[in-house]
A = this chain, B = another copy of it.
Amino acid sequence: MKGISLALSVYAVCVVGLFLKMFALSCYQGYFRLRYLAFTNPEDAAVFKRAAQLAERPQVCRAGRAWMNDLENIPLFIALGGLAIAVAAPGTQVAWLCGVFTVARCVHTLAYLAGWQPWRTLAYGVGVLCLWVLGAMVMGQVIAAA
């Protein structure tokens, strides 16, 4: 490594990976909207000379709930992971937490789309646990420096 620490490298790869995962979820939604030509915005439906739908397709709604759960967790990961690096928390542990969080969120999305329980709740729990440990490490560094 020159100039970029291990923790920052792993964190950067995880953020890019989560971006690709979220982008894949957008594509999944777009695929079902296009496959059934079902759009809730009149101007979108008009492109295909259809009437606007009152509700989204069930797959689009399900993917939307997976998105919402991502939005509740991933920005916090980006913040807490970045903070852990900024306050110089132990690098190897931060790198591991970033990796486990990213894998857990990918499993969560797959389990949500497929309706697999208890795997979805388990993956959610692992992700939240990583956030708790990252938060505790940040607090530990702040208290140690005070």
A28 CB-CB contact with B under 8 Å = no
Which residues, 99 to 119 on A, are CB-close (under 8 Å) to B? 115-118
* Contact bitstring A11-54, B, C-beta under 8 A = 1, else 0: 11101100110110010000000000000011110110000000
CB pair B87 A12 closer than 8 Å: yes
Interchain CB contact under 8 A, A72 and B67: yes
> Quick check: A23 and B128 within 8 Å, CB to CB?
yes
Residues on the B chain within 8 Å of A46, using CB: 117
Copies in the complex: 3
Chain A contact residues, majority secondary structure: helix
Say yes or no for A60: interface residue by CB 8 A criterion.
no
- Cβ of A92 < 8 Å from any Cβ of B? no
Given contacts A12-B142, A41-B65, A79-B15, contact A47 B131 (CB under 8 A): no
